[in-house]
Structure 1
Amino acid sequence: MSSPDAPDTTYDGPAREPVEIADDVNVENALRVGLTEYELSEEDVALLSGEGTGDGDEQPAGPLPVLAVVGRPNVGKSTLVNRIIGRREAVVEDVPGVTRDRVMYPANWAGRDFTLVDTGGWEKKVEGLPARVAEQAEVAIALADAVMFVVDATVGATGTDEQIVRLLRKAGKPVVLVANKVDGPRQEADASELWSLGFGEPYPVSALHGRGTGDVLDAAVATLPAVSATGGGIEPAGGPRRVALLGRPNVGKSSMLNKLAGSERVVVHPTAGTTRDPVDELIELGGRTWRFVDTAGIRRRVHLTQGADFYASLRTQAALEKAEVAVVLLDASEKLSEQDIRIVTTVVESGRALVLAYNKWDLTDEERRHYLQREIEKELVQYPWALRVNVSAQTGRHLEKLVPALDTALDSWDTRVPTGKLNSFLGQVVAEHPHPVRGGKQPRILFGTQASTRPPRFVIFASGFLEAGYRRFIERRLREQFGFVGSPIEVSVRVREKRKR
């Protein structure tokens, strides 16, 4: 038997066949009775008597209607989006071109649920990154049920605004004209000049201060159908599994999402940090629908970033919290960086299931693969249970291997071990390898239970403190016995003393 402090080795699946131990229920009952001799808190009692419960929300009858917010750069679209959804979700900065992709948010007004889509600024006759941003705005118009067209009332209608008018007329969608930056009566005269655009009454609004937003929302919601005619919207509760794509800037996250989606869903450009808002997309993969979320590349530590990059980092963290499993992209052609390791650690600490995707595998030769394996053994030694997939986001090579990896990781993330089986296992482990004696005392494991799943969390009641090395040993044996491939697990210890007689 190896020492509890021995280093972990690379995980290639269960090291031994699970042992069926008879009378699991009798063992559990006997240990529960023994626990009554110890001082237990109300929280302990609740944990020991509680069972996991499912939650099921009512599902909508169809996809929610979609309202797209469009306009040229720096007219206040993202500020208006934040005002509508009631929180600072869209990245806002006082420079043009901060928003680059089309980003969806669930919204509600006057009892009506709908999907709000923020877009990057549309410009005519542009090349490179601005052209990709404009394409995303055009796609958002095509997939929307209605459009909010935002114009800067203090500037008036520009040539670019006139081009957007032609684009909207060609699309044939209902349009609500928003005259933004009307902070008081003086600017209302400027707003009235926008009647010339031909979309009816311009609604004077100050997205920054909230002035007039209620009236324009009333008008916009009145144009929306009960169910989206474009098939857009957000999946019902209990729908597709949610997958976050994470990695440092320019590692290929957006390229992977585009390849999976089969379209230019996300702006891709050699400029590092092109993505700033989390962008989600329903993807058909392996005969099932998944919701993939492309996130802004995690740069340095969040507190060292500034401006739009700071808020983009916060939104990436939020996207991870909403996901069930994270696919961390690593550049196989380059040496693993401290940044890569920090991103993997962030996922593990968030408690999400984990798949490591080594991108640009087609650009690696035998020598690089040899050194990469050594880097993995050194830098990721703490996470031997993480699943690995070698892919190429550019060519689509081996992307289909993501499905079994995601399934395995999510199954482990959802796994619950029956209490009787867990305690029979713990009894066998302790009999084979008891905790070392320290200071003349040897702590005894009294009882174990799984407190929750997603990720699996285990609580062990003991008569004394269990050393960190022994807890790691128990975690390693839990993985050998029950799997948990691709999912972090947590083992905590509660020390309880005998009741005083």
Structure 2
Amino acid sequence: MSSSEEPGTDEVGTDAVDAGAVVKPVVAVVGRPNVGKSTLVNRIIGRRAAVVQDVPGVTRDRVSYDARWNGRELVVVDTGGWAPDAQGMAAQIAEQAELAIAAADAVLLVVDATVGIQDVDEAVVRVLRRSNKPVVLAANKVDDQRTEAEAAAMWNLGLGEPFPVSALHGRGSGDLLDAVLAALPEAPTEVFDAPRGPRRVAIVGKPNVGKSSLLNKLAGQKRAVVDNASGTTVDPVDELVDIGGVTYQLIDTAGIRRRVKEASGHEYYASLRTQGAIERAEVCIVVIDASEPITEQDLRILSMVEEAGRALVVAFNKWDLTDEERRRYLDREIERDMVQFTWAGHVNMSALTGRHVDRVGTAIEGALAAWETRVSTGKLNSFLGRVVAAHPHPVRGGKQPRILFGTQAQAGPPTFVLFTSGTLDPQYVRFVERRLREDFDFQGTPVHLEVRAREKRKNRT
């Protein structure tokens, strides 16, 4: 096979640039034991990741890998050998394969061309027909032209054209992967961003908490008008500012009123523009007056940033106006009222005196790094396996939903899709999210989890 056909040359890495909020299509690789499924998976992903041995039954669990072919990213799920009427561990392996089929967008059925069609192959075909999933047939172990005639006999399985391949040598794998891509749902049109300019940072908060003072201190000059009267800033003000050697585009915004309907005239439109500034930003600095109790307005602004999916830094300003007693009360307020924002980085600072303002740049950098973090499918599923083994989902109504596997749909913010055998309890989803944060250090960014439960089988007459 020519090097241009080699799937490994186009493999996606864990540091791939995110192309948008697109869930990668899933391909389940299935077949009876010892037909070369794991060898073919290694060929597709371009490295020896799946364990291969010349005895049946080496692969037992579903294992997911990231792959890329002809510019399309996909998730390849390797499964154990499927056998009908299996008992014991073999039955569990077969069940894992069926679950992989149910959660997949397309199925790659691997058969051994050198031994012909077996009863087990026909049993697998019956399962695949019931699944109504698109199927690509790979006739494996076709190492030379002489064996291609044996591959042609696989037409009798009734799945259309068999693609002769040699997983071991790579022969024919390019054509096979082209057929797999053709069987997958149509890829959305990719939108490539222009070269990225300075990172966009919105400074938001309720009126008169010191947003413009913070902008001036960070800029090292009086860029925004500052006055003790609330509502001095009306239009969002953009400023290129160098913080710790990094240039950021800072957006100072008008304070957000308690209710939009309470604002009138220019204040109403200023509030709308502020919401637009949050949407336009990549990270938001929410400024809170540390000398006053945390208010419902502060919490609402934090929620706006979280719902917009932006990285978050909380700046407790006016620290110079707090005494020891106020700081104790503030700790209690944070513990009681901001429990759902414990993932955000905090900076205790004074924009007036410059105390700890230098820490804002470090907090922005950390939040953006977490916001753009990508977790490979292999690492993610290894993590999910550990979590589910230690803390399985509770049984509900005699059934115990399981996480089959997961993949990261996008970064900015990190968004994960969990494919499950049933609906997960919201508290269990929150538990998985907490563990994700702990294991992958998502400090300063929202994390979104989407659960896709497997469709229930319809009763057949």
Aligned to 1:374: 332
- TM-score (normalizing by structure 1): 0.56
CA contact (8 A) 2:401 2:424 kept: yes
- TM-score (normalizing by structure 2): 0.61
Structure-2 change in CA distance of 1:468 and 1:24 (3 Å): farther
Aligned to 1:30: 78
Aligned to 1:253: 211
Question: 226, 240, 253: which is aligned to 1:268?
Answer: 226
Aligned 1:257-336 pairs, distance under 5 A: 257-336=215-294
Aligned to 2:425: 467
CA contact (8 A) 1:40 1:496 kept: no
- 1:40 shift after superposition: 5.8
- 1:404 shift after superposition: 1.3
Aligned to 1:55: 192
RMSD over aligned CA atoms reads 2.8
Structure-2 change in CA distance of 1:495 and 1:467 (3 Å): same
Residues 188-226 of structure 1, C-alpha deviations (whole Å, 9 max, x = no match): xxxxxxxxxxxxxxxxxxxxxxxxxxxxxxxxxxxxxxx
Aligned 1:71-110 pairs, distance under 5 A: none
Aligned to 1:219: none
Structure-2 change in CA distance of 1:429 and 1:351 (3 Å): same
CA distance in structure 1 between the partners assigned to 2:238 and 2:398 by the alignment: 57
**2:420 matched to 1:453?**
no
CA distance in structure 1 between the partners assigned to 2:368 and 2:98 by the alignment: 35
CA distance in structure 1 between the partners assigned to 2:185 and 2:393 by the alignment: 24
Aligned 1:215-254 pairs, distance under 5 A: 237-254=195-212
**2:284 matched to 1:337?**
no
CA distance in structure 2 between the partners assigned to 1:384 and 1:50 by the alignment: 37
Unaligned segments of structure 1, at least 5 residues: 1-21, 58-236
- 1:304 shift after superposition: 3.6
Residues 450-495 of structure 1, C-alpha deviations (whole Å, 9 max, x = no match): 1111101111111111001100100011011111100000111111
Aligned to 2:363: 405
Aligned residue identity for 1:305: A
Aligned residue identity for 2:327: R
CA distance in structure 1 between the partners assigned to 2:398 and 2:281 by the alignment: 47
Q: Partner of 1:291: helix, strand, or coil?
A: strand
Aligned residue identity for 1:464: G
CA contact (8 A) 2:205 2:287 kept: yes
CA contact (8 A) 2:416 2:450 kept: yes
- 1:39 shift after superposition: 6.3
- 1:265 shift after superposition: 0.9
Residues 378-398 of structure 1, C-alpha deviations (whole Å, 9 max, x = no match): 000111111000111111111
Q: Partner of 1:362: helix, strand, or coil?
A: helix
Q: Partner of 1:327: helix, strand, or coil?
A: strand
**2:414 matched to 1:414?**
no
Overall identity of the aligned pairs, in %: 58
Residues 348-369 of structure 1, C-alpha deviations (whole Å, 9 max, x = no match): 1110000000001111111111
- 1:23 shift after superposition: 6.0
Aligned to 2:82: none
- 1:497 shift after superposition: 2.7
Aligned 1:134-153 pairs, distance under 5 A: none
Question: 345, 348, 353: which is aligned to 1:390?
Answer: 348
CA distance in structure 1 between the partners assigned to 2:189 and 2:306 by the alignment: 22
Q: Partner of 1:415: helix, strand, or coil?
A: coil
CA contact (8 A) 1:463 1:495 kept: yes
Residues 39-92 of structure 1, C-alpha deviations (whole Å, 9 max, x = no match): 6679x99999979978342xxxxxxxxxxxxxxxxxxxxxxxxxxxxxxxxxxx
CA distance in structure 2 between the partners assigned to 1:404 and 1:33 by the alignment: 46
Aligned residue identity for 2:102: Y
- 1:38 shift after superposition: 1.3
Unaligned segments of structure 2, at least 5 residues: 1-47, 52-61, 65-76, 80-95, 107-132, 135-180
